[in-house]
Amino acid sequence: MPFDRFEQRRRLLQWLSASPLFPYAGFASAAPDIPSKLAELEAAADLIAKPEDAINVFDFEPVFRKNVPPAHAGYMYSGIDGEMTLKANRAAFEKYYLRPRRLNDVSKVDMSVELFGVKYPTPIVVCPTGGNKAFHPEGEVAVARGAKPGNHLQILSTVASSSVEEVTKARGAPIWFQLYATSTFNVARQLVAKAERAGCPVVAITVDRVAGRNQEAFERLKRVDSRKCADCHKPGIEERAKKLPNYAGIDIAGLTNMLSSNMDWDFVKRLRDTTKMKIVLKGILTGEDAALAVSNGIDGIIVSNHGARSEDSGRATIDVLPEVVEATKGKITVIVDSGFRRGTDIAKAMAMGANAVGVGRPYLWGLGAFGEPGVAKVLEILRTEFRVAMAQSGVRAVKEFTPAFVRRV
């Protein structure tokens, strides 16, 4: 059946307005950041027509919603089960306030950070997200080009819709590779070798997707999409691997599961011995595991609940960050993601001891809304907001941030 954009949108809006998920599914009009009354004003306003019209990153989300068919939009929006964690990731920032210092000549602000010997102009990292062509035909390549003007670190997903070679080229600089290690060591080893050959200095092993998940919003939005998922998504692991550019040339003999329920510290150690790349674990959520990462010789951690897409723990990553920072004691790199939407969110995490901050959905909103220029504008807004948050805090360089700049309500 041909894709009728207006019909799809009508159904999506109908579903959204009737859904009990609506008040907390992460949609812009329900986000805790929108000051009172603005939601009503926004409802009356037109959607932004071009990236330059955006006032904050949330402005891209309704345009994404207009452009992207319901099933794909649902894949992006969805959390897990009742989406407690999705709500918590945003709401938790309200528990922390900044303590700005004055009279500290902030006429020049240096936002740069160093990660594994490479200097980046800001700590804002582009998180790995799978299948970006579901949102825009240029997918991850458009994301890479959008990340270029701000020279952001980009982490590419194993299940990206463009290959690590292609995206590295589009980005014009080395990127990091995110690994779904699968159930089969030999497949993980080959994927890591491929990333290393493509020039990736770091592999981020995702450790928080070990079981199935019930993405309720995704499942419901699939039902209002008039297209048939099975027309494009064929069942079976071989069919899936065939569609993934990063799997090209990988021998998948023995592969039974693309998730890694059998992964343990020994698996990670064995993998580390196959590569010269630095190893970062993505999805660590406790001080205990952070301490184990240090004792197992891991190079870094991404404190992440996968944007509330792993388990519905109910715990926001900004709440987790202090115990991880405490456990790692500055010995390894700590990045945090999940729910970051504002420069002040980033400032809070940097003050609490993060080395960098990842964003996921905001750049996908930009991508679905306008492609590369949308991604570029989302990242520019975040850079501008973070620069202002630093200057207003009286901080001239990121290393001047200390926990004294933030307090818990």
Ligand X SMILES: Cc1cc2nc3c(=O)[nH]c(=O)nc-3n(C[C@H](O)[C@H](O)[C@H](O)COP(=O)(O)O)c2cc1C
With tokens 């701000």, the residue in question is 150
Is 306 annotated in the active site?
A: yes
- The residue range among 92-100, 115-123, 331-339, 392-400 that interacts with ligand X, by the rule CB under 6 A, is 331-339
Q: What percentage of the chain's residues is helix, strand, coil (to nearest 5)?
A: 45, 10, 40
Residues 379, 343, 371: CA angle, nearest 5 degrees: 20
We find the least distance from the C-beta atom of residue 14 to ligand X, in angstroms, to be 23
Q: Is 146 in the site for ligand X (CB under 6 A)?
A: no
What DSSP line would sit under 88-145, residue for residue? HHHHGGGGEEE----SS--SS-B--EEETTEEESSSEEE---S-GGGT-TTHHHHHHH
Q: Is the Cα dihedral 341, 342, 343, 345 positive or negative?
A: negative
- The residue range among 29-37, 226-234, 299-307, 371-379 that interacts with ligand X, by the rule CB under 6 A, is 299-307
The SS3 call for residue 300 is: strand
Q: Is 75 in the site for ligand X (CB under 6 A)?
A: yes
- Residue number with CB closer to ligand X (80 or 170): 80
Given candidates 360, 366, 371, 374, which one binds ligand X under the rule CB under 6 A? Answer: 360
- For the chain, the farthest-separated pair of C-alpha atoms sits apart, in whole angstroms, at 64
- Residue number with CB closer to ligand X (340 or 386): 340
Contact (Cβ atoms closer than 8 angstroms) between residue 281 and residue 298: yes
We find the least distance from the C-beta atom of residue 236 to ligand X, in angstroms, to be 20
We find the least distance from the C-beta atom of residue 340 to ligand X, in angstroms, to be 6
Contact (Cβ atoms closer than 8 angstroms) between residue 277 and residue 195: yes
Catalytic residue among 72, 136, 152, 306: 306
We find the least distance from the C-beta atom of residue 104 to ligand X, in angstroms, to be 30
Given candidates 80, 127, 144, 241, which one binds ligand X under the rule CB under 6 A? Answer: 127
Q: What track of x and - describes contact with ligand X for positions 302 through 321 (by CB under 6 A)?
A: --x-xx-x------------
We find the least distance from the C-beta atom of residue 25 to ligand X, in angstroms, to be 12
- Residue number with CB closer to ligand X (54 or 395): 54
Given candidates 63, 159, 318, 354, which one binds ligand X under the rule CB under 6 A? Answer: 159
- Residue number with CB closer to ligand X (168 or 305): 305
- Residue number with CB closer to ligand X (140 or 372): 140
Q: What track of x and - describes contact with ligand X for positions 181 through 220 (by CB under 6 A)?
A: -------------------------x--------------
With tokens 């949102």, the residue in question is 135
Q: Is 359 in the site for ligand X (CB under 6 A)?
A: yes
We find the least distance from the C-beta atom of residue 198 to ligand X, in angstroms, to be 17
Q: Is 24 in the site for ligand X (CB under 6 A)?
A: no
Q: Which among 404, 382, 383, 384 has a CA at the least distance from the CA of 393?
A: 404
CA distance 367 to 390: 27
Return the bridge partners of 155, or none. Answer: 176
Given candidates 85, 163, 178, 260, which one binds ligand X under the rule CB under 6 A? Answer: 178
What DSSP line would sit under 180-244, residue for residue? ---S-HHHHHHHHHHHHHTT-SEEEEE-S--S----HHHHHHHHT-SS-HHHHS-SSHHHHHHH-
Q: Is 340 in the site for ligand X (CB under 6 A)?
A: yes
Tokens of 300: 């870094």
Count the residues of the shown chain that bind ligand X, applying the rule CB under 6 A: 24
Q: Is the Cα dihedral 395, 397, 400, 406 positive or negative?
A: positive
Given candidates 8, 85, 129, 162, which one binds ligand X under the rule CB under 6 A? Answer: 129
Tokens of 70: 């319901």
Contact (Cβ atoms closer than 8 angstroms) between residue 156 and residue 242: no
We find the least distance from the C-beta atom of residue 251 to ligand X, in angstroms, to be 22
Given candidates 11, 152, 282, 315, which one binds ligand X under the rule CB under 6 A? Answer: 282
We find the least distance from the C-beta atom of residue 149 to ligand X, in angstroms, to be 20
Given candidates 25, 57, 76, 181, which one binds ligand X under the rule CB under 6 A? Answer: 76
Q: What is the DSSP letter of 397?
A: B
Question: What residue ranges bind ligand X (CB under 6 A)?
Answer: 75-76, 89, 127-130, 157, 159, 178, 206, 282, 304, 306-307, 309, 337-340, 358-361
> Which residues belong to the active site?
306
